[in-house]
Amino acid sequence: MNIQSYMTRGVVRVVSDSLRATSQNPVEADFMRSFAYASRIASKKRKRSEKNGEHIPPFLIASIASTCNLHCAGCYSRANNACCDSDRPDLLQAQEWDRIFTEADELGISFILLAGGEPLMRYDVIKQAATHGSILFPVFTNGTFLQEKYLNLFDENRNLIPIISIEGDEKTTDARRGEGVFKIVT
């Protein structure tokens, strides 16, 4: 199996499905058409690189935060000591992430999943990501920081897509994430 082709087909499928899903909402549909065009350009960049022996993936996962306000049972980030209760001094600054996002765009990367810790603890980085309209940024969050400033940022920048992690019902979510978390995010 060619992983590069598999990932590229996945990106095409997400864009195609999103175009269909947003067709009834003019704002969403306009953004998705624009993103679909940018995604085609990114794909051409990756194909040119491939011809030169460089393998550029269509997406990246960026762990932008090392802190989290929750202590979820089974958290991969805490289990690997990548997440703690206080900021680490070696975290990249927002300007450094901005440079990485710019370089990713130049290479033809059209999806960058923002993860953590809890990525919404890095408003500065999320705000920088918003300025890169040709890249789609799914933001994997526990949802507890979804307050007005984030809701406005997401509403104004359709390339930022919050993906809220819950386990299903209130009992199951609270058992894993902590008492009352379900009610906070729903």
Domain ranges in the chain are 56-185
What is residue 145's three-state secondary structure?
coil
Q: Which two tokens stand for residue 84?
A: 């703690």
pLDDT tens across 107-120, in order? 999 999 999 889 99
- Report residue 117 CA to chain centroid gap: 13
The confidence score (pLDDT) of residue 19 equals 67
Q: At residue 2, does pLDDT exceed 90? A: no
Domain made up of 56-185: CATH architecture: Alpha-Beta Barrel (3.20)
As to burial, measured by CB atoms within 10 angstroms (0-12 exposed, 13-18 middle, 19+ buried), residue 93 is exposed
Q: Which tens digit of pLDDT belongs to each residue from 58-95? A: 889 999 999 999 998 888 788 887 888 877 778 899 99
| Average pLDDT score, the chain | 89
pLDDT for the residue numbered 4: 66
Residue type present at position 90: D
- pLDDT tens column, 117-157: 899 999 999 999 999 999 999 999 999 999 999 999 999 99
Compute the average pLDDT of residues 7-23. 72
- Mean pLDDT, residues 94-100 taken together: 97
pTM, whole model, 2 decimals? 0.85
What span, in angstroms and rounded, lies between the C-alpha atoms of 185 and 105? 32
